[in-house]
Amino acid sequence: MSVLVFVEGLNGEIKKSSLEAASYGNQVAKALGTSATAVAIGDVKEEALTQLGAQGISKVLFDGEQRLKQFVADAYVKVIAAAVQKEDAKVVVFSNSNIGASVGAKLAVRLNASLATNVTTLPKTEGAGFTVTRGVFSGKAFADVALTSDIKIVAIKKNSFDISSEGTGAATVESFSAGLTDADFALLPKETVMQDTSGGVLLQEAEVVVSGGRGLKGPENWHLIEDLAKELGAATACSKPVSDMDWRPHHEHVGQTGTTISPNLYIAVGISGAIQHLAGVNSSKVIVVINKDSEAPFFKAADYGIVGDAFEVVPKLIEAAKALDK
Amino acid sequence: MKILVCISNVPDTTSKINFAADNKEFDKNGVQFVINPWDEYALTRAIELKEAKGGSVTVINVGEADTEPNIRKALAIGADDAIRVNAHPKDAFFVAQQIAAVAKENNYDIILMGKESIDYNGSQVHNMVGELLSIPSVVPAFKLDMVDDTTARLEREIEGGKEVVEVKLPFVASAQQPMSEPRIPNMRGIMTARTKPLQVVEPTGAEAKSAYVNYSKPEKKGGVKMIDAENAGELITLLRNEAKVL
Ligand SMILES: Cc1cc2nc3c(=O)[nH]c(=O)nc-3n(C[C@H](O)[C@H](O)[C@H](O)COP(=O)(O)OP(=O)(O)OC[C@H]3O[C@@H](n4cnc5c(N)ncnc54)[C@H](O)[C@@H]3O)c2cc1C
Ligand SMILES: Nc1ncnc2c1ncn2[C@@H]1O[C@H](COP(=O)(O)O)[C@@H](O)[C@H]1O
């Protein structure tokens, strides 16, 4: 038996969340007295994959088929299922990304496996058991869930596990094919449009996020958010009314009806902290709130707060951030 | 066109979450249950498609009798009929098997769900149903239009962008903002909902593949540290040296 990790690429590199999955997979493998292998698909260069050695992965199965650079669920599932069989994997680790959660659910049906998404802990494996903790009720609680099938699939919450670098040596990359046919690509997207991610930081993967709300008064003031984000190497986000009013694109909105994020640092500027907003950000490790109203509910969820006018406070932060040695 | 909309019954977002029986069970006391917000986008889009092209909208819920008020609400919003699979939704796989079993009997053209249920946050049931029925699932979609009678065009979110896919009926899709503008039931809807058919069926013998054994709540934050607006720059120093996040 072994542990298999699914690795996603973006623009030729391994996604940060997949490095977290690889580190997690290696730890699970050690606990179970076995080793972890990776299966990589998509937009990733072979050279990048060799670096998985640092996360303790010694072998990577890689399907370099051109069409897999785009996400086609059926084709992905077929490749991973074949890898599970080849490696006799009993635990399969994904990142809880759009792709990971989708492929995980399909794979669970195909392999008759147990699945837990949004996982925040390593498994407890006493006895023959396998129990993980997962985030439930939109960040308001955790649940321990016992996975009872022979094969267990876990999709781990982004930014919940450190990327380890304890491994030595390079991983060997083995080319791998599951005999995909045209039928597996029936759902190849007609069109893919990538957004202009400000500063090149993907919101879901960002360690630092600077977010603005209605308190910023209008889109013409967003340079404050963007400049601070740029100095901090952060992604930008916003509250729902801000995207509803088209001050910012829809995909930037975080919360119950938007994207859920869990960065190390979330800086909220001019956002009141409605419960629907908190649902998308409450698992951020450190929350900073800047609001001119000392009664704003967001302060209750914050680690650091400044009561003040964003138009005066943010320029000071930008100055201070510029002075940091990076 | 026959459309099936899957709705789950979840605590309103503003609810306080508590656990009972030594943290082994979710405590329903004092909690108001609503239709999962994402499912409302699916439901409204289904009704819009029916209004434009004809056909029917059926809603399905896997749940015990206490979910019926929200099933009636979906009927009041405009679904034609409803099915309740009379079972506690043990896990996503169990729920998916119940929905797939009903779908196999009825040949729906489109099965619509929400992006995820806001209670268990699994985001699993849609892909599982697609897989169980061997039909495509397009997840998470924020736009759904018919190209012609047999093909739909969807836009779905991917990390850092979006994709346009065309898919033949039948298929599963999950909905998110801004697929539609959820509707509030009107008086006429509420009146007619009372007489619309709500069929209760017993579950298939499917097994769950996971068991929820314990619940806990996040540790309370240590309280907020306030920084004077005049010395706002100090925050950056604290974030680096104290919180160590920069
Ligand atoms: C079903 C449902 C789902 C929802 N989903 C989401 C969601 O996913 N995401 C989301 O964000 N919201 C969501 N909402 C909306 C949510 O309830 C709030 O209305 C919204 O988050 C408020 O946005 P805001 O904080 O930007 O605006 P406001 O509530 O208007 O707050 C603006 C804040 O800015 C402060 N301010 C004003 N001027 C300044 C200044 N010069 N300097 C500093 N501070 C200033 C004010 O004191 C105030 O606290 C949802 C609502 C519902 C009903
Ligand atoms: N008990 C249920 N009954 C009917 N549909 C459900 C149920 N649970 C989940 N669903 C549907 O599946 C979607 C995804 O749910 P989940 O996988 O639990 O996040 C929801 O938005 C609903 O459309």
How many residues would you count in chain A?
A: 326
Confidence of residue A126 (pLDDT cuts 50, 70, 90): confident
10 Å CB burial of residue B92 (0-12, 13-18, 19+) is buried
Nearest protein Cα to ligand 1, atom 11: A239
CA torsion, points B198, B203, B209, B213, in degrees to nearest 10? 70
Across residues A74-78, what is the average pLDDT?
96
Q: pLDDT, tens digit, for every residue of A199-231?
A: 678 899 999 999 999 999 999 999 999 999 999
pLDDT at A199: 60
Query: What's the CA-to-centroid distance between B202 and ligand 1, angstroms?
Result: 44
pLDDT at A197: 60
Please say if the pLDDT value at position A293 is more than 70: yes
Please say if the pLDDT value at position A277 is more than 70: yes
Chain B residues near residue A189 by CB distance under 8 angstroms: 163-165
Q: What global pTM score does this model have?
A: 0.94
CATH 3.40.50.620 positions along chain A are 2-185
* CB contact A245 to B (< 8 Å): no
Shortest Cα distance, chain B CAs vs residue A30, angstroms: 23
Across residues A139-159, what is the average pLDDT?
96
Chain B residues near residue A67 by CB distance under 8 angstroms: none
Say which ligand is closest to the CA of B114: 2
Q: Measure CA of the first residue to CA of the last residue in chain B; give whole Å.
A: 54
pLDDT at B75: 98
For chain B, which residues score pLDDT lower than 70?
Answer: none
Nearest residue of B to residue A108 by CA position? B128
For residues B31 and B12, the answer to whether their CB atoms sit within 8 Å is yes
CB spacing of B212 vs A145 below 8 angstroms: yes
Please say if the pLDDT value at position A265 is more than 90: yes
Q: How far is CA A266 from the centre of its chain?
A: 15
Confidence of residue A35 (pLDDT cuts 50, 70, 90): very high
What CATH topology corresponds to A2-185?
Answer: Rossmann fold (3.40.50)
The domain covering B2-217 belongs, at the CATH homologous superfamily level, to: HUPs (3.40.50.620)
Which class does domain A203-324 fall in?
alpha beta
Please say if the pLDDT value at position A326 is more than 80: no
Please say if the pLDDT value at position A198 is more than 70: no
Cβ of B109 below 6 Å from ligand 2: no
Across residues A7-28, what is the average pLDDT?
95
- Give the pair of three-digit tokens for residue A9: 């690429």
CB spacing of A118 vs B11 below 8 angstroms: no
Shortest Cα distance, chain B CAs vs residue A320, angstroms: 5
Q: pLDDT, tens digit, for every residue of A84-116?
A: 999 999 999 999 999 999 999 999 999 999 999
Query: What's the CA-to-centroid distance between B62 and ligand 2, angstroms?
Result: 8
* CB contact B132 to A (< 8 Å): yes
Q: What is the DSSP string of A109-148?
A: HHHT-EEEEEE-SPPB-STT--EEEEEEGGGTEEEEEEE-
For residues A34 and A2, the answer to whether their CB atoms sit within 8 Å is yes
Confidence of residue A41 (pLDDT cuts 50, 70, 90): very high
Q: Which of residues 173-202 of B touch A (CB under 8 A)?
A: 176-178
